[in-house]
Amino acid sequence: MLQYIIRRILLMIPTLIGVSLLVTALLRLLPSDAVDILVAGGEVQGGQAAFKELVDARLASDGKDPATASITDRARAENALISAQLQKDGIDFEKATDPQKNAAKSTLSLEQYKDNIRKNLGLDKNYFEQWFSWATDAVRGDLGHSILGSRPVSDELKRRIPVSVELGLLGMLVSVVIALPLGVASAVKQDGFIDYGLRSFAIAMLAVPSFFIATIVIALSARWWSYSFPVRYEEFWENPKANLELVLVPALILGIGLSGTLLRLTRAQMLEVLRQDYIRTARSKGLGARSVIIRHALRNAMVPVVTVIGLQVPVLVGGSLVLEQIFGIPGIANYLFVSIANRDFPAIIGVNMVVAVTIVMVNLLVDVMYAVLDPRVRLA
């Protein structure tokens, strides 16, 4: 088994490389980038300096030294640049008004300013150069800096990952605690009143979206008990009460939503196992119903259930995104949402890589659990 685990860990390397290449490629398909958002709607800081760079480049192309060029030469170069921009807009320079010339100058300044930012951030590189630059830094543990705010992405992830892990683990725990016993009860009481009720509950949990339940909980808490959830997240070890006040309800909502799938799968697997010959043999030997169900049936029925639990890890990220937004929880799903909205490429790639590593490791854990639950499974 040790060789199998080592081999799977080594296979993570090409998997993560493929994920990073795919994410980088998809980001290039977005209609705009963080630089456009960074300068949109505000005054262009450094626009004059950017336009001066354009004029200097024009003077140099005309064979003049920008440092010693006369005012007349500079004015001629400026007019040439503005005239070229006006021609793109279908306006003749001689007939253009002063506002039109100023608008053309502002457009040139803005584009040059954004090009300078892209060059400083490495966004002007082609696809493979940009990916390779990111990958070489990531190998050293440097996931880059956020474009908006210039904060290290790794520092943001260190702060937010424990928050999402707490929410995800609590949600998964709630899901398992609800789904397994209810799924077993539904199978044992097949076609009875309890079975129909639990199956209806599972369908309802699959049908009702988490954001609806969260909105109802917040609204009813405020209306009936005049209670509002905390607006500031605090670490569990610093303030357990405030932490659980904020995280426990979203975890319950997330877990209840995930329990529907597990409940129905547990019921189906238990029904299949309970019909097996070895279960009838165990009963005929006088074993009690509880012993047969827990020691023999449930263990074999758990193999597919464990698989689905592993597959629900990506669902945890997607489900927690909505809940983190509603309850103001500063997790990685919230960070990913904000980063996508702002086209913050380093942050988007960093979060996706963390999620990819988590999914690969959980799948490895699921495979190991197969051998623990079913001795017939041999990992080699």
For 72-110, what is each residue's pLDDT tens digit?
A: 888 888 888 888 888 887 887 777 888 888 888 877 877
What is the pLDDT, as a whole number, of residue 44?
A: 46
Q: Which residues of the chain have pLDDT under 50?
A: 41-44
Which contacts (CB < 8 Å, 24+ apart) does range 269-274 have? 269/301, 269/302, 269/304, 269/305, 270/183, 270/184, 270/187, 270/188, 270/297, 270/298, 270/301, 271/187, 271/190, 272/301, 273/297, 273/300, 273/301, 274/187, 274/188
The two three-digit tokens of residue 19, written as one number: 């994920």
What is the pLDDT, as a whole number, of residue 321?
A: 78
Amino acid at the residue 121: L
Q: Give the CATH number of domain 153-373; options: 3.40.50.620, 1.10.8.80, 1.10.3720.10, 1.50.10.10.
A: 1.10.3720.10
Closest CA to 188 of 332, 86, 290, 71: 290
**pTM greater than 0.75 (yes/no):** no
The two three-digit tokens of residue 130, written as one number: 């940009």
Reported in sequence order, the residue ranges of the chain that DSSP labels E, i.e. its strands, are: none
Residues of the chain with CATH 1.10.3720.10: 153-373
CB 174 within 8 A of CB 254: yes
In three-state secondary structure terms, 227 is: coil
Distances (CA, A) of 159 to 162, 233, 323, 326, 331: 7, 11, 18, 19, 8
Rounded Cα gap, residues 168 and 159, in angstroms: 15
Closest CA to 133 of 354, 345, 351, 291: 345
Rounded Cα gap, residues 278 and 300, in angstroms: 11
